[in-house]
Amino acid sequence: MGITVVDKIMVVGGGGREHAIIKKLKESPQAGKIYCLPGNAGIAKDAECVAISAEDLDGVVDFAVREKIDFAVVAPDDPLVMGLVDLLEEKGIPCFGPNKRAAIIEGSKAFSKDLMKKYDIPTAQFETFTDMGDALEYVKTCRIPVVVKADGLAKGKGVLICETRDAAEAAVLEMMQDQVFGKSGSTVVIEEFLEGPEVSVLSFTDGNTVIPMVSSMDHKRAFDGDKGLNTGGMGTIAPNPYYTEDIASECMETIFLPTMRAMNKEGRTFKGCLYFGLMLTTEGPKVIEYNCRFGDPEAQVVLPLLEGDLLDIMMHTADGTLSSAKFHFAEDEAACCVIMATKGYPEHYEKGYPLSIPDDLENVYVAGAKLGENGELLSDGGRVLGVTARGKNLPEAIDSAYAQVARIEFPDGFYRHDIGQKALAAWKGETR
């Protein structure tokens, strides 16, 4: 049988995750031309970047129709939650990514918590509040520490872990009165504080089948030793050594399949990448959060371990035939991604700092870069690069990622030096 070429592919988004998706799509013998909206100066080496924002839904749809796009991949949370997939599908363009009704699983924490309660999916105990007075009353007597979460999207910053009653009260006021997260905070979820190793499990699902990808571990705090503020993610490793085969089977039975079926029952069939943020508590694995998309920087370690044709998997996911896609992950190897960010991130930072990446580094995913007047590469964001290495095992992957980091010139950047160290301790325990 001959190979059908997908002439025009469009990837919506413009960060390191999108770069990792594009590099993997390019390996597919079926892949034709790849566009990225808006992309960035680093992604421009691998795709044609078009200066249309991912949140300009009309602009994206107009472009897709005008260019006769054959297949679209919508990667970031905002356009998914806003309904970009629905608009593209109305124009007859097949998409990888959930429609608006399904993307609510990330778009509203109140929705996802109610879903878990209704279908008995293990998660932290919680209460939802739309009235500030009720929320303030609740934190006067609830167990401390407690976690206060804005209902809607908040660029990964809408979760506050409160160690004292005063902090919990302040969190409620910030979200509901001062509206620091805008409308996202007009409803809050207040939940039990859980403890245990965290695992990210991304999965492909088409509503009929759910296939987990290799597990991973994010490092959310800005500085070594999990110090500093929460960020979008400062580095990742895969596989996550805490996530054993037994735990994986348990998650399939108690979390992954029940979630897929629950969404079907609600008339919200989820097609795309469903991301399970899990905590392995002493009572078993529990869901911390769902995301309706690939994680960033989880995608940067998971996709390099994929042995298979990403385009083929995505097209099977879109048309509901995922069970016939053939692929696996190199679970016996490992990958590590170290994020290089601009000094000052995640708070105030400037853009436009010089950076230089040796040409022979293969898996450097560019999250935020632009070209200067003389065509030189300049930083253009908080998170700037994701430097990934694949290795035979975890220590090799970590060493190799840091060896590459050492060859990159970015004097105004910083990175964590301990990505993978916690995992390494667990890995050593397991292989001893």
Residue ranges in contact with ligand AMP by CB under 6 A:
124, 147, 156, 159, 161, 191-194, 198, 220, 277, 288-289
Cis before 29 (ω within 30) = no
206 vs 296, beta carbon nearer ligand GLY = 296
Pick from 228, 213, 206, 195: nearest CA to 95: 206
Helices and strands, number each (H, E), in the chain: 14, 25
218 is a site residue for ligand GLY (CB under 6 A): yes
231 is a site residue for ligand GLY (CB under 6 A): no
- The count of other CB atoms within 10 Å of the CB of residue 19 is 30
**CA atoms within 13 Å, Cβ hemisphere of 138:** 22
Q: What share of the chain is helix, strand, coil (3-state, %, to 5)?
A: 35, 30, 40
Q: State the Cα–Cα distance between residues 257 and 259, nearest whole angstrom.
A: 5
Q: How many residues touch ligand GLY (CB under 6 A)?
A: 7
Q: Which residues of 365-398 are buried (b: 16+ CB within 10 A; e: fewer)?
A: bbbbbbeeeeeebbbbbbbbbbbbbbbeebeebb
Residue 295 contact, options ligand AMP, ligand GLY, none, Cβ 5-8 Å cut-off depending on partner type: ligand GLY
- Minimum distance from residue 181 beta carbon to ligand AMP (Å): 12
CA 218 centroid distance within chain: 10
187 is a site residue for ligand GLY (CB under 6 A): no
- Minimum distance from residue 133 beta carbon to ligand GLY (Å): 32
333 is a site residue for ligand GLY (CB under 6 A): no
Measured from each CB, the residue nearest to ligand GLY is 295
- Minimum distance from residue 228 beta carbon to ligand GLY (Å): 16
291 is a site residue for ligand GLY (CB under 6 A): yes
- Binding residue for ligand GLY (CB under 6 A) from 295, 346, 368, 382? 295
106 is a site residue for ligand GLY (CB under 6 A): no
Pick from 149, 55, 168: nearest CA to 108: 149
- Binding residue for ligand GLY (CB under 6 A) from 39, 76, 233, 241? 233
- Minimum distance from residue 215 beta carbon to ligand AMP (Å): 14
- Minimum distance from residue 232 beta carbon to ligand GLY (Å): 6
Footprint of ligand GLY (CB under 6 A) = 156, 218, 233, 291, 295-296, 298
